[in-house]
Each structure stands twice: as structure tokens, then as C-alpha cells.
Structure 1
Amino acid sequence: MEETSDLDASDNAYFSDDHDSTSENDDDDEENLDFAPVIPEKDIKKEYEVDFTVHTESDIFKFQKSEIDQVSSFLGGIPQHIVASLLRHFKWNKDLLMERYMEDPDGVARAAGVVIDDSLSAVASPKYVSINGFCCDICCNDEAGLATLALSCEHRFCRDCYEHYLTMKIDQEGESRRIQCMASGCKLVVDEPTIKLVVKPEVFAKYQKLLLRAFVDDLEYYKWCPAPNCVYAVEYHIGSSSLTEVIPTVHCNCGHSFCFGCSLPDHQPCICPLVREWLKKCADDSETSNWISANTKECPKCHATIEKNGGCNHMNCRKCKYEFCWVCQGPWSEHGSQWYNCNRYDERASVEARDAQGKSRAALEKYLHYYNRFANHEQSAKLDKDLHEKTEKKMEEMQNSSELSWIEVQFLREAVDVLIKSRMTLKWTYAFAYYLERGNATDLFEDNQRDLEMAVEQLSGLLEEPIAKEKIFELKQKVLDKKVYVAQRREVLLIDTSRGLREGRWNYTAKFK
């Protein structure tokens, strides 16, 4: 990138020859000074961030070609499309391919579905051939001059059948790695030159794109960005064992942030194994738990779970025969005409579970506590996205009613972005906290969680405020201050969590591999 100077013409005057008072020794000292390059603050990696590289399709294609060229030269000039098939069979592990090929070249070629002979006859371009008296086994067409095609296995079919077969495989099934010969039981792979000859150009273009995507899918340290229609791939070197110590959040050039470990949207500060456990639990338990919570209650005496199946609030437990009120769960004998307390809220302390059913209920209450807050922030984040449209209107309104320029009102959009990002972080703090064992570290985590949550709600309230002409600059300052504070509180939480992961500070109630 071209460097630009921050000095204008007037600044250069300070370095003119008019300053004769500077001695030669001073000049020598200045020449020997080693100034460290100034790194922009936005480029400084934070503790919870990771190093990654975003690649274009062109970058990936060049890398793929270099891998093929390297193996082709090592294997004595085998045609590149054959080498590509060999590499796909070994998931692009070129070292393993070359090792196995040296041990058993015929076995490797057979397993990969290619044919390699000493004369390298595979170099010859595929072509259609007309054979007198030929009858296609697929369509039974035996007309004179029928164009036919056969691979090295000599299984011959007519051009139309081959085109239909390959087009269906590519266009409908999305196959590219291992499209095999049409003959039943034949494992020979249809090579790239043959596919280019047979199918239409648009189908072949899709085939090449599928091959490129399959190439990245086979690489351990590369992943395509999961955003819809995104064409970028991300490179990040991490082992699966490290996913308990780091959350590898990467940011694609398209603007989408996702976890390299599991490809889900950014879920900091919750590690991938806990995210997997949480989402599974939500899928299994959330609807059941919500129904139980909404439609059942425990008997105050024996703690049996009871479903109300009528309009009367007079309940009679079938297990212990205890009679109680469905509304307040007090003894029904006290619900006479002279005493009625159902309209008053009684904030009772939670009772320690006395049996397995009580423990199950307590576990359910714990789950619902965290799930409801998780779901609430998820819903709030979705609603906050609607703020972008409202913000655009507010920005225009602020421009029209003040002297602020379009650039000067961008703080509103930036504040919304910080708000949504912080909402998503808060959402995953509840999944993380659900699995944490109680302790001093957990208390500190919940303090940071509370501070961020309070700041987020305050910023959300400011962004929802109507704009009063006489208070525009006051509102701007409040939003700017709160936006910075929210970003800081989010960083504090993420930094502390990432340190805890590296130090092994967190203990979990869940057991995962």
C-alpha cells in the first residue's frame, strides 16, 4: 500500500537548511535513531482475536494449481487432470499421496478411479467416435452415424446419454469430485477434459466452481464463508483440540463474522463444545420445558407434577390427595369467604429439592432462567436490526434540523452496530454461564455480564429516543459516550473470558470431548 505523509508544505519548513544551530553530532544521533512503526489502533490484535487470512476465488484457484503442478512434476509428468483426481482422492494431502504412490502406483490409481500407463495415453484429448452397428445400452439408439464416447475403460455410450448423465450429476446433484463411468460397477472417474467436451459451457462452469468449493472443503485450515452468496474463503490454522481454549472468530470481507471452528455466527464468549451442547439442549428441551412451565405446577405437599384440565382452581392431588389452590398454591381449606389471598404476590424463596422430581424441577427452572434470557437477547438483536432503517431516517432528520453533515451523523449507525454486536455477545454469555460451576471466577463473569447488559439497555434507550431539535447535540454526545462505554464493557468481558480459557480458570458442569 502506498505510504502518504502527514506533513504538509508548511511542516516541511521545520526540516529546512535554515536551522544551522543543529550540530553534526546531533544529525548523526538522529540518523541512528530506530523509530518503531506506528500501528493503527484498529490493526492491533486484541486478546480474544485470532490471526486469519481471507482469500478470493482467484487466490484459491492459484493455490490449487500450484499444488497440482508440484505433484505432477514429482510423479514424472502425469497429466494434471489425472493428478487432480489423485489429490482429491487423498483430500489434497500431497505428502500421503506421494508416499502411497511410490509404494503401489497401480493400487493408488485404481482406488482413485484413474488409469495411468507408461505411454501416458491419458494425455490424448477425448473425442466422439461413430461406430457402425453400435447400439447404446441406455437408450437403445442404433441409428447410423451415432456419435459415441468411451473412457479408458472402453464402456461406450451415445453422446446424448452421456450429456444427460453428466448434466444431471453436476446441475441437479451438485457432484464434482467423483463422477464415475455410466457402466454399472465401473469405478473409473470421468475426467475434466471429457466433461468439458460433453456438457454445455454453463454446466462446465458450474462443475469448475463445485470443484473449487470441494477443494476448500477438503482442506483442514480453509473454510468458505457461510454467508449466502459469499465467494471468499478464510484460512486459519487451528487444531480441534484448541477449541476449548479459544473461540476462533473470523471476519470475512463480505462483513460476516463467524466461528472458524463450527461455522456458526460469532458466539463469543462461549466455546464451541458448549455451544454444541447448548443448541442440542435447546432443540430437545425448550419446547417441552416451555409447555411444562406454562401448563403444569408442583403439588405443594408431594411435589408431583400436575396438569390443570378444568376451569376450577380447586386442585386435588391424585398422589397424596392434598387439596390446594391452583393460583396461589395455598391450602384450599383457607379459601373460604372470609379469607382470600390469591390476588397478592408472595415472593417465596426457592425450596431445596427433596426428591428426584424436585431436583428435576430445579434443573428445569435453572435452564429456563438462562434460556429465557438467551432467547430474549436473540429476539432483541433481531428487533435492533430494524433500527438501521429507523436510523437512516433519524440521520436525515438530524441533518435537516441542524448544521451536522452526513459524515457527522454516522455516529448513529455506528452505535447501532455496536448495540447489535453486544446483544449477540450477551446472548451467548447466558449459554456459557449455564454450564459454569459456581465460584469466584463465575461471580466476576456475571458482574461483567451485568455491567454490559445495563450499558446495552441504556444505549438502546438512547437510540429509541425521539429527536428534539434543541437537544440534538446533547443527544449526540450521550450516544457517543454510551457507545464507547458499551464497546469497552464488551471488551472487558471478552478479554477476561479469553484469559480464563487460556489459564484453565473455568470449570464446567457439562462433560464434553
Structure 2
Amino acid sequence: MDQDFDAGFSGEEYDTDEDCASEDDGIEVAQADAADAESSPSSDCQVLAPEQLSTELNKIAAETSAIVGLSPQLCRIALHHLRWSKEILLEKYYENESPQQFFKKFDRDFPLDLNYVVQALPPRSGTCLICYDQKMLTGLSCGHLYCLACWHSYLSTRFHEYPDPFVLCPEPKCKQVVGDEIAMKLLTNEADKRFYQRVLINSFVECNKLLKWCPAPNCDKVIKVSHPECRAVTCDCECTFCFKCSNEWHEPIDCELLSKWIKKCSDDSETSNWLNANTKDCPKCHVTIEKDGGCNHMTYCPKCHVTIEKDGGCNHMTCRSQTCRFEFCWTCLGPWQPHGSGWYACNRFDDKAAKDARSQQENSRAALQRYLHYYNRFANHQNSLKFENRLMEQIKIKVDQMQAQSFSWIETQFLIKSVQVLNKCRRTLMYTYAFAFYLQPNNITSIFEDNQRDLELATEQLSEVLEREINPESDDLVVLKQKVQDKCHYVDTRRQVLLKHCQEGLERNQWIFRTAG
């Protein structure tokens, strides 16, 4: 373990700039393919616990100490200021005539004793220099004494406000460093001690290009890779994210364009986005319809105008009015029948309005409508993902019902995997609309839109089967399994085709991206 971990921790991995960078029964389901980048981490990707990182940084400090003759504590202080690079520390250290000159560059006091360890003075009674109460006091070798409550308050506040693990004595103008070992003794509650350990380890992680914290809430694991790049990595908590930008995995769009897209979607200048995303005009009378709570699940039937509630991820809507029963697409409000035919075009943006624009106002309106075309579809798939998280819970209930009917656990797992495939396809579709927003139209983009259309249609078909057609009490398991697996295999194939085409376009420089917008 240690040998694998140590490999790759050389000085070249650290930022040297002034600013630190920030089980299976053979069910043939395509989504279980380990070749998917986001479904299984690469062999060179490790998930590390904080304890492993703490051991590693202490090891680096001990190795440095053995070379320069400074105490490991002083070496940790110096390594922190030099991005935890042992090689850079050795280079800088031997450029100076004395250890005092070396530490002076960090604006820190350096003791004459090379083996010095920052320690607290023995407690004694006196007046605290912060609260001015008569208490038992302690301090560092600088002689500035404070009560334990003030020490804890000072250190806790500093570590929460300024994530520097090596702070100075509270006395103004005093350059004495509070070492990590004494800081752990002066902090009086376990929560603050754990937070401080995180601050210390974070100074090591943030300055190493091969390490990245898992962004999942309440997860304290770190991912280590052999090459820092835009790639999907998966933590033990099952969170899959982009190693480069720490956002959820966003293929096919790259990190830079995704950053621009996120900013654009959250920009105050796009206030009209909310109005367009959360309201729709009746296709007949054009009265504005607001969806319930802005959660993208209310509209009116385009034929009879009865209120429709969207309560799942599938976009195939059917009016519940017994006199209507009109089937339509939630996204475009058009009849659903064309969405299963060869001229399905719900995913395409008609650029005619933009071509016919004659004035600046018309151009601005066309630009806004173009943006909203892609934003609404991005947001629609995003909301469908939320519904399909609930779908997973419903599928688990159906799995339990099937197991209660004497089916084995293995025999029912195809349903769980099918929802996982559906989630992947939704997420991919979501980001294809952000990707498409920045694309300049050319002959290749029409192929992309065809692939996007095929994936979207296949995704909706799978979603409809999982939401509406599974009845554990009446379904023939063999028939159901074959049907679901066939659709899973097809939809995942379409997803891979789309992503492969996007990647090939990047490698061949066939994509031309808009710089504005």
C-alpha cells in the first residue's frame, strides 16, 4: 500500500506558482461494461482516507528532516509554505547561508536550536492578555500567555476564517508559529480538532496536482490519479465527478465551456430564463401558464387545456381528460406520434428566426430564444434526473415484491441497472445541450444532432417502460427482463455512439465553438 501510494509524489506534482491551485450473474446489460470511464475508476485511481494522507505528509517531513537536520515540525511548517515539495525546499534551503535566513523569507521567527519543537509553556496563574481574567495561562516560547479558553477561541476562529494550518501567536507583531502538535493540544473540543486536521491535510491536497477531495457532502475521501486531466473518477461513496473541475461528470462538454454555461445560467442578466423555464404559453390561446412551484411538472394539455401534472422523468405525456386523451411531448408540446418517427426533431433548434432578423432588437430576441431552446432542454433533463431518483426507490420496491414471489436477488438486479443506465443517459443528454449551445453549425453538427435525437428518443422509451409498464404481480419475468435489457442495450449503445462522435470531433478539430454567449 505504502509503495503504491508513494509512487508519484515527486516535486513535479506540486504547484510552484505563488498561488496554489485551488457481483453479477452474466446479465448482459450494456451499462455494466467496465469500459465506461465513469462506471469504474481506472487502475491508476486510488481513494485515500485522511489518515493515509496524514501519514504521507508526516513521512515527507521526516525525510526532509533527515536531510536538512531540522525538526520534523519545522519541516512541516516550511513544506507548507513551499507547496509540500521536498525538492523545492531542499533547493531553497541550501541557497541560504543559514536556517535563520531561510525562515526569514516566510516572515517567521526561527529558533537557534535546529531541533526546536514548538511547545506550550507549563501552565501558571496570571492575567490573560486577551480576556484579562485571572486564570491558569499557557503560551509559547515567546512568553505571551493566554488562558485555554482564549487560545481555543483564537485558533478555532483563525482556522475557520483563514485556512492556514500554521498561525502566529495572538500577540500583534509576534512571529512565533503555533505548531500543528501544540495546536491540537490547545483546541479543546473534538469537532475543532477534526476541522484543524482537515485544514492541515487540505494544505497538502490543494497543492498537489494528483490529489482532489471528493465533492460529495459529508465525504472526507481524496482521489489520487497518476495524470491530472479532465476525466471521470469515482469515490468509494459512489460519487462520480470530473477530476479537473470537481463538478459532476459532464461529458461531452469540457470544463471551460461548462464553467461559462454555469455562469450564464446563473447570471442576473438571464432573469427571463426563469420566466421562460417556469411558464409556458397555452398553444391555443397563449395564456401564460405557471408550473406548480417552478419544479417543471405542470402544464396544460395542448389540445383541451386541462391541467397536466408531470410526476416522472418521462416526457411522453397523456392528457387524463376522458374526452381528450391527447398524447404530447412535454418539452415541445407537440403531438407525441412524430417523436417515434424518422422526422423527430424536438432536439433541433430552428435557426430561421435568427437568419431573418433585421434589427438589433430582433437579433437580441433571436439570441435569447436560441439560448432558451438549449437551456430549457438542459433544465428539463436535469429535472427528469430528480424524478428518476424517485424512480429508483419505486423500482427497489418492485424488486422487493418480485423477491417475495420467490425470485432471487440476482434475477431482479436488471431493473436496478436499467435505472442506472437511464440516469447516465439523462445526464449525458443534459450536457449535450450545453455542448450544442456553443457549437457553430456545420456539416458535422447535423450528425451530432441526429445522434442526440436518437439517444433522446431511446431514453424516453426506456423511461416510459420503467415508469409505466412494470407490474411485478402480473408480468412474465423472462419477457420483462428481455424487453428491459434490449432497451438498455440500445440506449447505452446510442449514448456511446454520441460520445464517440463528440470525442472524434475534438481530436480532429471538427468542432468550432462560439466564443460569445
Cα deviation, 1:302-356, whole Å, max 9, x if unaligned, reads xxxxxx9xxxxxxxxxxxxxxxxxxxxxxxxxxxxxxxxxxxx9x9974600111
Query: Of residues 180, 195, 200 in structure 1, which corresponds to 2:188?
Result: 200
> Paired residue for 1:497?
502
> Paired residue for 2:223?
234
Query: Of residues 83, 107, 131 in structure 1, which corresponds to 2:75?
Result: 83
TM-score, normalisation: structure 2:
0.72
Alpha-carbon contact 1:180-1:189 (below 8 Å) kept: yes
Shift of 1:116: 3.4
Shift of 1:58: 3.1
Q: What letter corresponds to residue 82 of structure 2 in structure 1?
A: F
Give, in whole Å, the separation in 2 of the partners of 1:86 and 1:188.
14
Query: Of residues 159, 162, 165 in structure 2, which corresponds to 1:177?
Result: 165
Cα deviation, 1:395-422, whole Å, max 9, x if unaligned, reads 2333445x53222011111100110111
The alpha-carbon distance between structure 1 residues 463 and 124, as it changes in their structure 2 partners (threshold 3 A), is closer
Shift of 1:459: 0.4
Cα deviation, 1:405-451, whole Å, max 9, x if unaligned, reads 22201111110011011101100000001101111221221111111
1:274 partnered with 2:265: no
Gaps of 5+ in 2: 2-31, 282-286, 288-333, 335-349
> Paired residue for 1:119?
113
Alpha-carbon contact 1:47-1:498 (below 8 Å) kept: no
Q: What letter corresponds to residue 280 of structure 1 in structure 2?
A: K
The alpha-carbon distance between structure 1 residues 124 and 56, as it changes in their structure 2 partners (threshold 3 A), is closer
The alpha-carbon distance between structure 1 residues 500 and 74, as it changes in their structure 2 partners (threshold 3 A), is farther
Question: Aligned to 2:116, what secondary structure does the other structure show?
Answer: helix
> Paired residue for 1:6?
none
Greater mean deviation of Cα atoms: 101-110 or 486-495: 101-110
The alpha-carbon distance between structure 1 residues 43 and 396, as it changes in their structure 2 partners (threshold 3 A), is closer
Give, in whole Å, the separation in 1 of the partners of 2:250 and 2:178.
42
Q: What letter corresponds to residue 236 of structure 2 in structure 1?
A: N
The alpha-carbon distance between structure 1 residues 461 and 73, as it changes in their structure 2 partners (threshold 3 A), is same
The alpha-carbon distance between structure 1 residues 124 and 261, as it changes in their structure 2 partners (threshold 3 A), is closer
Q: What letter corresponds to residue 112 of structure 1 in structure 2?
A: F
Question: Aligned to 2:383, what secondary structure does the other structure show?
Answer: helix
Shift of 1:174: 7.2
Query: Of residues 478, 483, 488 in structure 2, which corresponds to 1:478?
Result: 483
Q: What letter corresponds to residue 212 of structure 1 in structure 2?
A: I
Question: Aligned to 1:120, what secondary structure does the other structure show?
Answer: coil
Give, in whole Å, the separation in 1 of the partners of 2:36 and 2:461.
28
> Paired residue for 2:47?
54
Question: Aligned to 1:234, what secondary structure does the other structure show?
Answer: strand
Give, in whole Å, the separation in 1 of the partners of 2:92 and 2:276.
58
Alpha-carbon contact 1:56-1:231 (below 8 Å) kept: yes
Shift of 1:289: 3.9
Alpha-carbon contact 1:113-1:189 (below 8 Å) kept: no
* Larger relative contact order (Cα-Cα within 8 Å, sequence gap ≥ 6): 2
Shift of 1:156: 3.1
> Paired residue for 2:439?
436
> Paired residue for 1:382?
386
Shift of 1:218: 2.4
Shift of 1:175: 4.3
Give, in whole Å, the separation in 2 of the partners of 1:408 and 1:381.
26
Residues paired across the two proteins, number:
413
Give, in whole Å, the separation in 1 of the partners of 2:423 and 2:389.
7
Gaps of 5+ in 1: 2-40, 298-307, 309-344
Q: What letter corresponds to residue 481 of structure 2 in structure 1?
A: K
Shift of 1:121: 5.8
Give, in whole Å, the separation in 2 of the partners of 1:295 and 1:44.
41
Question: Aligned to 2:411, what secondary structure does the other structure show?
Answer: coil
Cα deviation, 1:342-401, whole Å, max 9, x if unaligned, reads xxx9x9974600111111111111111111110110011110110111102222333445
Alpha-carbon contact 2:429-2:456 (below 8 Å) kept: yes
Shift of 1:44: 4.6
> Paired residue for 2:410?
407
Shift of 1:46: 5.9
Shift of 1:160: 4.0
TM-score, normalisation: structure 1:
0.72
